[in-house]
Amino acid sequence: MIAALAMVFAAGCTQQPERVDAAPPAPTGKQTLPARAVYDPPAKFGTQAGVLMPWEASSGLLSIGGTWLSDSKIPVALHKDKVYVATLDRLLTFNTTTGLLTATITSTADALSVLSENDRNNAAPPVVTPGANPLVLAPFFVRRPGVGTQAATNFIELTATDTSSDKVEWRLPLTLPSWTKDGSPRTVSVVGASEKVAIVTVSTGASSLFSAATTYGIDLTARRVLWTKDRFEATAVTGNIVAGELETSDGTYESARGYDLLTGTERWRGEDRLNLDVTPAGPHLLLVQAQNKDDYRVHIQQFLDPATGTVKHEAPEDIAGSRCDHDGHNTVVCSWNQGNLYKVWAFNDRTASLLWQLPDQTANRIAPRVTAVWNGRIYGKTNDGPLALDSQTGADLPTRPGVAPFLVNGYTGLALSPAPEDDLTAYPATG
C-alpha cells in the first residue's frame, strides 16, 4: 500500500525561531491583522521570521539528524495563513501570522487513542475541501460507552470544520466494518474530496498480519453516507472518479479499480496483480506499480488514465518507490530517494511523456532531494543548500528560497529549523 517517502532536511543557514514550551492562549477579542502578502509561487522565505509549529505536528516523526521517517505522512494541511494539524484525538488550528494556536477540535465521543508529547503521531493529514466555502475534514476513532443493556460501541466520527470560523460545522458517525473487531491495527484517512463528496478509507495498519480495507463515499451537503465498499482501499480522488486497490475475496491478488465518486458504481477494473500500489500522479494520471501474478519477477510500472483505467504510458523501471506531485500547471514531478541517492523525473500530466530527468550526466547535473512541488516550482536541497527548479524545464531558478519546505502555499513554507533543534517551523513567504 502507499508508503510515504522521507521528506526533507532543514535549511542550514536560517536563524533559530524563538522556542516556547506551549502555544500561548488564543486572544479573546476580535483582532484585525495586517493582510499577508501572497506569492504564487514563493521564490523565497523569511528565514529570520519563522514561528514554531505545535509539537503535535511532528511528534515522533523525526529521526536523529532531522529527517522525516520514511514511512510517515505529515499530519498537516495548509489553508491560507493557517495550518491544520491532525492527531488521533484532536484537530488543531495554528495561525502562522501570529504564531498562536487558535482552536482545538475534539470528538464528542471518547477517542480510542490520545496523543501525548513524544508519542508518534500516526494520524493522517486532514483534508481541506475545494470550493468557495471549504471545510477541514478529520476522522477520529471513538468509543461510545455502554448504557444499560446497550453495549459499548466503537465507530468513526468524521468532523467537518469551517475554515472561516474554525468551528465544527457538522459531525457524522461511520459504522466500523466487521473485520475491525478482531483488534488488528487500523488507520483511517480522508483520501480526498470534491465540493460535494468526500472519500474516507479505514484499513489495517502496516504491522497487521492480514490486510483489509473499507471505503465510504460521504455526501458533504446531505451529511450522510452515499455508499460503502469493502475490500477497496481508495488512494486517489480525481474528477468524478475514486481510484484505488480492490483485494480479491480470498486475499490472493489485488487489482486497480475506478468507481464513480457519487454512486460507487464501478467504472473500470485492472488486471489482478501482486503487491499492487496505486498512487495519484496529478489530476489526470495514476501511477500503478505491481508484480505479475503469474511471474513475480516481472515488475510493472505504468501511468493510467483515472477516468478509464487505460494505460497512458509505461513508467521508468527505476521509478519504483517514488512519490509523484502535480505542479498545479501541467507537469507531474516524481522523486525518489534512498540514503543519499536521489532521482527526479518530470512528465506531461496528460500524456505521461517524459519531459526531463535528473541526474543528467551529459549536463553534469545532480538530482536534488525534492521536498515540495507547488504552482510550477520544485523546492529541494543539495549539499549546496536549499534550491528551486522550474518544474516544466528542470532549470535551476536564480533565487534561492532560503529553506527547503515540504509543504508550501502562497503564504507559508513548512520546514525544519537548523540543527541541532530541527524544529518544525512555519516560514513566511517573502518574495
| CATH value at residue 280 | 2.130.10.10
Quick one: pLDDT at residue 33? 63
Residue 199 maps to a domain: yes
Quick one: pLDDT at residue 252? 86
Residue 5 maps to a domain: no
Give the number of domains in the chain: 1
Q: Is 385 exposed, middle or buried (0-12, 13-18, 19+ CB in 10 A)?
A: middle
Compute CA distances 371 → 20, 29, 35, 235, 327, whole Å.
26, 38, 28, 21, 13
Quick one: pLDDT at residue 31? 57
Residue 28 maps to a domain: no
The grid coordinates of residue 40 equal 504564487
Quick one: pLDDT at residue 13? 38
Residues spanned by the domain of 227: 51-145+152-428
Residue 200 maps to a domain: yes
Quick one: pLDDT at residue 265? 98
pLDDT digit string (tens) for the chain, length 431 residues: 333 333 333 333 344 444 333 344 444 445 566 788 999 999 999 999 999 999 999 999 987 666 777 667 899 999 999 999 999 999 999 999 999 999 999 999 999 999 999 899 999 999 999 999 999 999 999 999 888 888 889 999 999 999 999 999 999 999 999 988 876 678 999 999 999 999 999 999 665 667 899 999 999 999 999 999 999 999 999 999 999 999 998 888 999 999 999 999 999 999 999 999 999 999 999 999 999 999 999 999 999 999 999 999 999 999 998 999 999 999 999 999 988 899 999 999 999 999 999 999 999 999 999 999 999 999 999 999 999 999 999 999 999 999 999 999 999 999 998 877 789 999 999 99
Residue 348 maps to a domain: yes
Question: Position of cell 521536498?
Answer: 371
The grid coordinates of residue 238 equal 480525481
Residue 219 maps to a domain: yes
Q: How far apart are CA 229 and CA 166, in angstroms?
A: 31
Quick one: pLDDT at residue 50? 96
Quick one: pLDDT at residue 206? 61
Question: Position of cell 465521543?
Answer: 109
The grid coordinates of residue 64 equal 536523529
Residue 240 maps to a domain: yes
Quick one: pLDDT at residue 184? 66
Q: How far apart are CA 221 and CA 230, in angstroms?
A: 24
Residue 19 maps to a domain: no
Predicted structure pTM score? 0.90
